[in-house]
Amino acid sequence: MQLRLISLMGLVVFVALAWACSANRPRFPWRTVLWGLGLQFAFALLMLKTAGGQALFALAGAAITKLNEFANEGCQFVFGPLASQAQMQRAFAEGSVIFAVVVTGTIILVSALSSLLYHWGLLQKLVRAIAWVMRRAMGTSGSETLCCAANIFMGQTEAPLLVRPYIERMTRSELLCMMTGGMATIAGGVAAVYARLGAEAGHPDMAGHLLTASVLNAPAALLIAKILVPETEPSETAGRAPAEVPRTTTNSLEALCRGASDGMLLAINVLAMLIAFVAVVALANFLLTAPQVHILKQLGGAAANFQPVTFQTLVGWLNAPFAWLMGVPAPDCAAVGRVLGERIVLNEFIGYVSLSKLAPSLHPRSFTLATYALCGFANLTSIAIQVGGIGSLAPSRRADMARLGFRAMLGGVLATYLSATVVGIVW
């Protein structure tokens, strides 16, 4: 009960932080905020406290397991025994799995299937149904709501394609909503990888939690964005759904091929970021610890036994209060704060990899709340990705997107933290 009360306090604090950073504090969007929180609590209760929700959790876990098995079949055809975890462990013992092979297969398969579902029109129908509920309840415009709903299933540069004809004429508030929605969610391809990491760390229900987080983060992104930049201009799609964008693939085969190609590009991008950011962390740790080690050696005696402060330790200390406000048990706050900091400074992939390694030492509640808090692309790199990617769809708005970049990242961080507090209250 005490942890739930702390989560409730955290909910108020995160909304207050968004208001404190608002561009127009007197225009607080009460309807959007109250209905947004209501939708979050309704869906969290549905998923976490009902038999149907638990069945969906089990289904999501089973689906991810099967998808990973199918991806392994494709990887083993291309890479041979390098893609077989059993064979690699027999040959080289534990820790012998090639991470690049495992990640690549899953991302490519999920990307190809998503492209196929989009070609058939199934993905658009689901997205529009979710957007209709949020638009009617929260009073947001059609274009910004559709884009936030699409981010549940699509990446931060793919979802805006659904509202491409409207981006040039979007209001400043709508632009921020579109960008924050991308920052507050993750793409389906990487979600499958994170679920696999969680299952291997002893949390087979992580797939269900990632699914829940993706849906919770859509209304959270809308309400936080509307607090940060309240609407003051007339919207072209106010009170109505935007027109459908025509499909660009001619048949199912082309859709599969294009999805596989896009997935390969995403996988290469993920691997490049992992190599670069892990190396940067190692460099940062060297620069931080080398002077400390030298000083401790000079002092000698008991001082020589102290462990130097690393980059991970620093970001853990800075983010521990936010972890506590979510309802994370106090002994785990520094560890969870560390992965939260890694998500912002580096990216969420690094955060989830670190979380999977910490799993054995964390309380189940801490692991679960961290899963929700990490479930978004809100990091410094994503600002450049959005300005470059979405800016190419509407070149005249690129400067506006650049000015809103840090505010969108803040909105994405607060939205994921808000979802974690909602789960902390009801779970």
User: SS3 for the chain, per residue?
Assistant: CHHHHHHHHHHHHHHHHHHHCCCCCCCCCHHHHHHHHHHHHHHHHHHHHCHHHHHHHHHHHHHHHHHHHHHHHHHHHHHHHHHCHHHHHHHHCCCCCCHHHHHHHHHHHHHHHHHHHHHHCHHHHHHHHHHHHHHHHHCCCHHHHHHHHHCCCCCCCCHHHHHHHHHHHCCHHHHHHHHHHHHCCCCHHHHHHHHHHHHHCCCCCHHHHHHHHHHHHHHHHHHHHHHHCCCCCCCCCCCCCCCCCCCCCCCHHHHHHHHHHHHHHHHHHHHHHHHHHHHHHHHHHHHHHHHHHHHHHHHCHHHHHCCCCCHHHHHHHHHHHHHHHHCCCHHHHHHHHHHHHHHHHCCHHHHHHHHHHHHHHCCHHHHHHHHHHCCCCCCHHHHHHHHHHCCCCCHHHHHHHHHHHHHHHHHHHHHHHHHHHHHHHHC
Low-confidence ranges of the chain (pLDDT < 70): 85-86, 88-98, 241, 243, 245, 301-305
Contact 125, 140 (CB under 8 A): no
The 8-class DSSP code of residue 238 comes to T
Cα separation, 197 vs 102, in Å, equals: 10
Q: 49-89: per-residue pLDDT in tens?
A: 999 888 888 888 788 788 888 888 898 888 888 777 667 66
pLDDT at position 91: 64
pLDDT at position 389: 82
Cα separation, 189 vs 106, in Å, equals: 7
Cα separation, 360 vs 199, in Å, equals: 12
Query: Which structural domain range is residue 174 located in?
Result: 2-426
pLDDT at position 242: 72
> What tokens appear for 205 in the block?
């229900």
> What tokens appear for 234 in the block?
């007339």
Cα separation, 184 vs 151, in Å, equals: 8
Cα separation, 96 vs 405, in Å, equals: 40
Q: 269-302: per-residue pLDDT in tens?
A: 878 877 887 888 889 889 988 888 878 777 776 6
- Residues 6+ positions from 348 with CB-CB distance below 8 Å: 186, 190, 374, 375, 376, 377, 378, 379
pLDDT at position 404: 95
Instruction: Name the domain count of the chain.
Output: 1
The H or E element that residue 82 is part of is none
pLDDT at position 92: 62
